[in-house]
Structure 1
């Protein structure tokens, strides 16, 4: 059904040499108290007005980027037997979540010049222009941020993983972890040939807290005193309940 709808959509679009169209399995993700992550299916088709050109072959790249924020990255060094923060670099803009997938090995999918222009890879999606002149290896701070977020499952690469059938239909599933933040997530699809982007399309995905999670979030932001008092009451009640249960078990 999805493939049929995409092909129908492709036929109704204005004619171009090669144009990519895309869709998402969902347009929103709800973060609840029991949220443990979510998977989004990104699919699409290539519309063309001529026969498929076999050489160089078409490639598809898909990226999903979370809200972008500045990040301060510190370097720790051992001083007098303890680890302390020493130098820091302010990274101007780093996506809170970033996943990129391609239908072929990365070096066959896009050139360095095109990657720099469209900021597709994780390294290019992060902007760091304010590093102090005194820190010669400022790039190492960006590399450290990438490593930390890769270990947390927030930065992901899936090279040679997009299913691309007969140079026309494609799809890939991106798993988003439970630790994602709410906000607008941007999904981009690039169609490349010989490393050059020939078409692209973008869409958005909304990630929002709902229910009790949303109520607690708003309470912590708008009425911090009440939120703190409520947290204290809950902690006291939990402690009293555990103590009462222990006494009941002991007496029994």
Structure 2
């Protein structure tokens, strides 16, 4: 028994030492993103350094993984099938929690800088960041719905995997660019930075990016939720005015 304990301690010591020897010092180009009427996306630069109190541990090459995650909400994914020449919604699965935006930027191939065990533990890759537990009994291939959600959001740039996007200088300085698309959900975006050795996480840093609507966008957003009746009436007046104006211009052009 004592021999087994000693073996376990010897295996865990390199990881515990490396976690103490290497820390992350981080900066963001901006910690706040303002969504305005002409907002067409943004780019956040993540840059930092590895702080060490001793020479780098000799347990494998250094890897860096950066993730940025938007607010997670339930998502209903439907499957369409063509019946009698018409596309109809058939089966549906509700994904328990899926980030509205998710980006993974790494210093190398993800399967090299991160083991599956560490991915499962920290939920770093896109499939691990999505939580889907239950599904209707008659649906046997519920994972296909999650895969479809990932494909759709990847095409719209809401989900991103950029392997090799983190630039490392002398295993000490690192930098990465994270692209935020125009269609952003308001809320707190969690940014996580991981240092890995031999695919195992040895250090982690967490921070938050504040994404908020400002100006006219903020006012309309608040109005739609705090006074839905006034918002609806105002939208109706604007629609009528726009229709009348277009009709008047069309009549003038015909004369």
TM-score normalised by L of structure 1: 0.91
Cα distance in structure 2, aligned partners of 1:94 and 1:239: 39
Cα distance in structure 2, aligned partners of 1:55 and 1:160: 21
Cα distance in structure 1, aligned partners of 2:138 and 2:242: 51
Cα distance in structure 1, aligned partners of 2:83 and 2:248: 47
Q: Which residue of 2 aligns with 1:6?
A: none
Aligned pairs for 1:37-116 (under 5 A) are 37-53=41-57, 56-116=60-120
Paired residue for 1:148, among 145, 152, 169?
152
In the TM superposition, residue 239 of structure 1 has moved relative to its aligned partner by 1.6
Cα distance in structure 2, aligned partners of 1:158 and 1:45: 20
User: Measured at CA, do residues 16 and 137 of structure 1 come closer, stay the same or move farther in structure 2, by a change above 3 Å?
Assistant: same
Cα distance in structure 2, aligned partners of 1:16 and 1:52: 11
Cα distance in structure 2, aligned partners of 1:136 and 1:111: 29
Q: Which residue of 2 aligns with 1:212?
A: 216
Alignment of 1:200 onto 2:204: yes
For 1:16, what is the secondary structure of its paired residue? helix
In the TM superposition, residue 249 of structure 1 has moved relative to its aligned partner by 2.9
Q: Which residue of 1 aligns with 2:168?
A: 164
Q: Is the 8 A contact 2:165 2:177 kept in 1?
A: no
Alignment of 1:125 onto 2:129: yes
Paired residue for 1:23, among 27, 37, 45?
27
Cα distance in structure 1, aligned partners of 2:89 and 2:151: 18
For 1:245, what is the secondary structure of its paired residue? helix
Q: Which residue of 2 aligns with 1:9?
A: none
After TM superposition, what 4+ stretches of structure 1 lie above 3 angstroms from structure 2?
Answer: none
Please identify, of 84-93 and 239-248, the stretch whose mean Cα deviation from structure 2 is larger.
239-248
In the TM superposition, residue 181 of structure 1 has moved relative to its aligned partner by 0.7
Q: Which runs of 5+ in 1 are unaligned?
A: 1-14
Cα deviation, 1:103-134, whole Å, max 9, x if unaligned, reads 01111110000000000000100010112333
Count of aligned positions: 237
TM-score normalised by L of structure 2: 0.90
Please identify, of 130-139 and 170-179, the stretch whose mean Cα deviation from structure 2 is larger.
130-139
Cα distance in structure 1, aligned partners of 2:149 and 2:73: 13
Cα distance in structure 2, aligned partners of 1:107 and 1:68: 25
